[in-house]
Amino acid sequence: MSLVAFVAGRSPGLTTAVHAIATAWPAHRRAIVAEVDPAGGTLAARFDLAPQPGLTDLAAAGRRGLDPDTVLRHCRRLASGTIALVAPVSPERVTSALAVLGSVLGEALDSIPGTDVLADCGRIERRSPAMELVHGAPYVVLVVTPSLEGVAYAQARMEALSIPAGRLALLTVGERPYPPDEVGRALQLPVVGALAWDPAGAAQLNSGKAPRRSELRRTATVIARELCGFLPALGPHGEGAVPESDPDAEPYASGMVVTYPSRR
């Protein structure tokens, strides 16, 4: 289905945001997290997992091309229930895996049947090895701390992104001191929502225990639904659908305006 690349201004809780949104993805679609942050992976270390299978051995397997099955064979289920392609903590290893895979990785992640891929691409840097994937992604979400310095940093780095309008939207982590619509106006970006700054919810998610109700989960659910509204629909006969069973499903948030072109 679709690749959504998440990039950060300056360490606003990007990995937690991507993970929380994937955990809250609507139950009739399937989401996996792909860690491609050139600063190094977090999830395997956070959940005390060996880094294999993951991005490094996917690079070895994909030297001559990648098919969706090969990608999925290198993913694993985290204790939170989320399926993830995890990256090694070593920035050098992530960088060399991205160099080996080149544009093939983004193309493969964007075409896994019935599966949306949420990629943690790390901070925006013009020379970031993840930029090829970001530029190839049909949807990009810029994750920002809604503070003066968070906005200033994002503003300064946005030219490095040079993503055409319509493919880029904003997500804030927290709503203070500036609400997301004000940050959106400052950065001239459509707003996909605000994820709660919720230390207890983040600790719970990152502990690997079963997801519980929290502000983090509630807001992640709203954001996940908002994003899904702009991704390609399932096939004409519901191909790719998984059974509806999410007890946390909530109605769409009102008042969040995103202008991604719909591919439906």
- The entry of ligand ATP, Mg ion, none that residue 202 binds, CB within 5 to 8 Å by partner kind: ligand ATP
In this complex, which beta carbon is closest to ligand ATP, that of residue 112 or of residue 133?
A: 133
CA distance 169 to 16: 18
Contacts of 90 (CB under 8 A, 6+ apart): 40
Shortest spacing between CB 84 and Mg ion, in angstroms: 13
Contact predicate 36/120, CB 8 Å = yes
Annotate each residue in 40-79 with x if it binds ligand ATP (CB under 6 A) or - if it does not, as one string. Answer: --x-------------------------------------
CA distance 147 to 159: 19
The residue whose Cβ lies closest to Mg ion is 15
- The entry of ligand ATP, Mg ion, none that residue 115 binds, CB within 5 to 8 Å by partner kind: none
Alpha-carbon torsion angle 94, 210, 5, 230, nearest 10: 160
Residues 234-253 that bind Mg ion (CB under 5 A): none
Shortest spacing between CB 80 and Mg ion, in angstroms: 15
Annotate each residue in 14-53 with x if it binds Mg ion (CB under 5 A) or - if it does not, as one string. Answer: xx--------------------------x-----------
Measured in degrees and rounded to the nearest 5, phi and psi for residue 80 equal -75, -10
Contact residue for ligand ATP among 2, 3, 4, 13 (CB under 6 A): 13
Torsion-angle region of residue 246: left (phi > 0), alpha (psi -120 to 50) or beta? Answer: beta
Instruction: Please report whether residue 193 would count as binding ligand ATP according to CB under 6 A.
Output: no
Contact residue for ligand ATP among 199, 243, 247, 251 (CB under 6 A): 199
Instruction: Please report whether residue 8 would count as binding ligand ATP according to CB under 6 A.
Output: yes
Number of C-alpha atoms within 13 angstroms, CB side, residue 53?
Answer: 14
Contact predicate 36/133, CB 8 Å = yes
CA distance 150 to 132: 24
Contact residue for ligand ATP among 168, 187, 216, 227 (CB under 6 A): 216
Contact residue for ligand ATP among 7, 31, 33, 37 (CB under 6 A): 37
Amino acid at 175: E
Q: Quick one: which H or E segment has residue 205?
A: helix 199-207
Contact residue for ligand ATP among 119, 202, 222, 227 (CB under 6 A): 202
Contact predicate 40/90, CB 8 Å = yes
In this complex, which beta carbon is closest to ligand ATP, that of residue 108 or of residue 206?
A: 206
Omega before 53 cis (within 30°)?
yes
- The entry of Mg ion, ligand ATP, none that residue 195 binds, CB within 5 to 8 Å by partner kind: ligand ATP
Question: In the beta sheet, which residues pair with residue 195?
Answer: 173
Instruction: Please report whether residue 14 would count as binding ligand ATP according to CB under 6 A.
Output: yes
Residue among 130, 141, 80 at smallest CA distance from 105: 130
Q: Which residues bind ligand ATP (CB under 6 A)?
A: 8, 11-16, 37, 39, 42, 173, 195, 197-199, 202-203, 206, 216
Q: Which residues bind Mg ion (CB under 5 A)?
A: 14-15, 42
